[in-house]
Structure 1
């Protein structure tokens, strides 16, 4: 590890150790404090190694292992089968998602969603990325008789949706490979992207264009366009999505909607910074 990286890591750890929101308890429980410090560290890093945790806590590797094992048991962390590193577990991401849902991100973005719905006349969504899953957290349906139904509250494989692809496109390659260690991917239709190799080619195109598209990849008869929010604007990875029946899709219309959504995301993201 370069010296500058080491110094940065030390500063980050020091900043984490300085976090004391409430009064110090009269009878602190060291094991509980250490488990919470691991979660704080995990919030600052994409993954944790056993030795890194032991060094951070100043404990033996066996002690660090027992703490991680308990967090693993409760689903707050999981261990990558290939790298053996510890990453956020489903319980931790679920708790974070539940808390963030109660914040005002949906309220903040609602006027922009309404504007997109008015301008496109199609069903629009706000979605977030949770590992390899897309969760739709807000939606407004098209007023047209033939329309795409709202996906509010639904979860879908990220590689099968334009929404997921838009957010995956801006993950570091290392993180993408952690999420998809094998080349084979889950599919929802015969048009879904079924391999990591094909997904990476698709993501490269999305980065160039600035938006993602899908044609019957998540559901027959449905096409969509999605634009992701800059990763530094919110604790959540977010994306706007416009979904329409395949029968109404034209290439020029897709481009027009995409340009409209990019401009809308830029305005909305400014409020989340």
Structure 2
């Protein structure tokens, strides 16, 4: 009798796998774009993603069902949802600096009269994760989650100052250092010269290098292994953050960074 062998076919649903991955990928891209704005229309999201309006609406409806985005029926604008916020907070819980830093930010803001910030490095950028705003009418503001260029940021340069020149070169290799103002250090040699000075004094200065009229003084924060995990800073308009105040803010920020490092069980490397 001839033996009939069962055919080795794909399991049910395997053909749909690539399509499912594409839907997930598109949804995540769309979610990121929604998160970047304070409100986006369906048409604007379609233009930014290059997807058909009907596709964008279908994805948004699915994301909305999971609480990831919400729609204002009066304006038609789509914004980030509560569930996405909760998921983002899970990241901050794991990065305990976001929680432990709050009293340090408050004290730094009160002592300086300027906005205090916490930021981390991610893929060659600075990501702001927490802030304590100044009470002054004119003040710096960095929305949590906002990314900034590492070479034109007080926190970015403070973090880079704890890396070797070789590591900095490897990070920035092949990248164009954008020139935002006349004061931006837009070449690796210029940045490394600035880094040398930051290492000497223990704190960094963004001297209107990203935004004309704004200054930022920052220092690095370390974990228990002496590795840099974040930076803390004071930011404010240059009319208030004068050279005289920068000289005061520098040691103030470094001291706050050291105290926050200790509160987290971290330690400053002996060579710094």
TM-score band w.r.t. shorter chain: 0.5 to 0.7
1:147 paired with 2:144, answer no
Q: Counterpart in 2 of 1:262?
A: 254
Question: Structure 2: how far apart are the matches of 1:233 and 1:145?
Answer: 40
1:170 paired with 2:162, answer yes
1:131 paired with 2:119, answer no
Cα RMSD (Å) = 2.4
1:242 paired with 2:234, answer yes
Q: Structure 1 residue runs of 4+, over 3 Å off?
A: 95-103, 230-236
1:205-249 Cα shifts (integer Å, max 9, x gaps): 000010000121111211110011136557762111100101112
Question: Structure 2: how far apart are the matches of 1:98 and 1:177?
Answer: 32
Report the TM-score, using the length of structure 2 for normalisation.
0.60
Question: Structure 1: how far apart are the matches of 2:203 and 2:264?
Answer: 20
Question: Structure 1: how far apart are the matches of 2:225 and 2:174?
Answer: 30
Report the TM-score, using the length of structure 1 for normalisation.
0.60
The 3 A distance-change label for structure 1 pair 193 and 271 is: same
The 3 A distance-change label for structure 1 pair 182 and 150 is: closer
Instruction: Please identify the structure whose Cα radius of gyration is greater.
Output: 2
Q: CA deviation at 1:151?
A: 3.6
Q: Counterpart in 2 of 1:161?
A: 153
Higher helix share: 1
The 3 A distance-change label for structure 1 pair 103 and 229 is: closer
Task: List gaps (5 residues or longer) in structure 2.
Answer: 1-86, 266-272
Task: List gaps (5 residues or longer) in structure 1.
Answer: 1-94
Aligned residues: 179
Greater shift in the superposed pair: 218-227 or 232-241: 232-241
1:148-181 Cα shifts (integer Å, max 9, x gaps): 1234221011001111001001112221111012
Question: Structure 1: how far apart are the matches of 2:103 and 2:224?
Answer: 21
The 3 A distance-change label for structure 1 pair 272 and 233 is: farther
